[in-house]
Structure 1
Amino acid sequence: MAGIGSKMNLPGPLRIIGKKHIEQAGQWVPSLVGYGTAAFCGLLYFTDWKAVMKYVPYYNIPFKNEGEEK
């Protein structure tokens, strides 16, 4: 019997989606990584997350001067 998943050796739910859809989704990965990175940097900028941003060059200058004010 020839079913939908018999032509491909894909595991589980990937048989329903199909090889073409998986290849198309793979082409979106670089864009998703780029937009995700930009969104994460924007989040760090607008929230001013000191735990991470104090290690970023040129951006950490305000954090270096906080301990010297006392």
Structure 2
Amino acid sequence: MLSKAIGPRYAQLLRLWFPTLGAWGTVGAVGLVYATDWRLILDYVPYINGKFKKDE
């Protein structure tokens, strides 16, 4: 299906590059969370969750 839409050569290149793009996307997402200290996500990480305890 994909090879008919974009051509067999580009479909093959996409299949070969997909794991690399996925890995870099994961690295980018983790880097974004680290750089911005994104509380929405980090509240669910057990080790980091203690950092955001509320004194109520």
How big is each residue's C-alpha offset from its partner over 1:16-48, in whole Å with a ceiling of 9 and x where there is no partner? xx2022111211101111110111011001101
> How many residue pairs align between the two structures?
54
Q: Shift of residue 61 of structure 1?
A: 1.5
Structure 2: gaps spanning 5 or more residues = none
Structure 1: gaps spanning 5 or more residues = 1-8
> What fraction of aligned residue pairs are identical, expressed as a percent?
35
Task: Specify the alignment match of 1:23 in structure 2.
Answer: 12
Give the structure with the larger helix fraction.
2
TM-score in terms of structure 1 length = 0.67
